[in-house]
Amino acid sequence: MKKLQLIIAALLLSFSCVPEEKINPEVDFEKMMIRIAELEIAEEHLDSYLFELKKEAKASMDIENGVISIFPMYEEEHPTQITIVEIYADKKAYEAHLKTPHFKTYKTTTMEMVKSLKLIDMNAVDPETMPLIFEKLNPDSVE
Amino acid sequence: MKKLQLIIAALLLSFSCVPEEKINPEVDFEKMMIRIAELEIAEEHLDSYLFELKKEAKASMDIENGVISIFPMYEEEHPTQITIVEIYADKKAYEAHLKTPHFKTYKTTTMEMVKSLKLIDMNAVDPETMPLIFEKLNPDSVE
């Protein structure tokens, strides 16, 4: 009987939401700011632009606690079309990000390379499962 | 003198690339498949659609090893506009995903709810720093 209870408990657990200990208690999912940036880059400046973008994204992730994610991608068929998924802990973290030297350098250096920029405010469809996202890239966090 | 060496070592480490042990050796970044799905949902079906999408994304993340990420978002200003960032370990993992019961159920259940669907193949600008993405959501993986 005890075994059956254990099996049921295990089954319930495996289908339940993300276990509480997997969610960073310092991250308030209600306050989180998610944004998609869509950019078109001048073809002749693409290499220089990607170099600056990589530098800026890495510095933001490394140095700023409030930057949860800056994930830049380019379209396979049209590499000058860039999409960046940006996640900040809250509005304050975003405003602090705008004042960092690495962001300011990126902004001024790439100004002439960017043909168009569209910023779209987004929300997660399922904030509860967000901690699962991308964790398979990292062996430390695999259960 | 030893203290100075330690400080220099710490500084070097903090600015270096992602440490090797942070990268999942089972993930081959060259073979990885990244895709953005852009959908428009019929307003009257939005709640039902989001329910099905949540269920499908969670099942894929929980059950399929080859699904690195399925991250669905909606536009704050136009909630019927959905963007899903999908990452699969490789093409085989993607093809296996299409054959799963949870994907098939999602596809047939939501067919009438989706007004338009655009699939865009993407590449990461900086695959090396991908393991850092979103890890701040998860306290286990914070160094």
CA torsion B22-A71-A34-B141 (nearest 10°) is 0
pTM of structure: 0.80
Residue A11 pLDDT exceeds 50: no
Residue B75 pLDDT exceeds 80: yes
- For chain B, give every domain's residue range: 2-141
Among B102, B61, B22, which residue's Cα sits nearest to residue A125? Answer: B61
> DSSP state, B65?
T
% of chain A at pLDDT higher than 90: 62
Cβ <8 Å between A124 and B71: yes
Among B38, B125, B59, B50, which residue's Cα sits nearest to residue A61? Answer: B125
Among A103, A94, A69, A32, which residue's Cα sits nearest to residue B124? Answer: A69
For the residues B57-66, what does the mean pLDDT come to? 92
Residue A37 distance to chain B (closest CA, Å): 12
Cβ <8 Å between A122 and B34: no
For residue A21, what pLDDT band results from cuts at 50, 70 and 90?
very low
Residue pair B83/B38 in contact (Cβ under 8 Å)? The answer is yes
* Residues in chain A closer than 8 A to B14 (CB atoms): 62
Mean pLDDT (chain B) is 83
Cβ <8 Å between A75 and B134: no
For residue A7, what pLDDT band results from cuts at 50, 70 and 90?
low
What's the pLDDT at B29? 78
For the residues A101-127, what does the mean pLDDT come to? 96
Residue B100 distance to chain A (closest CA, Å): 17
Among B19, B31, B13, B36, which residue's Cα sits nearest to residue B131? Answer: B19
- Looking at domain A28-141, its CATH architecture is 2-Layer Sandwich (3.30)
Looking at CATH, the fold of the domain delimited by B2-141 is given as: Alpha-Beta Plaits (3.30.70)
For residue A29, what pLDDT band results from cuts at 50, 70 and 90?
confident
| Residue B88 CB burial class (10 angstroms; 0-12, 13-18, ≥19) | buried
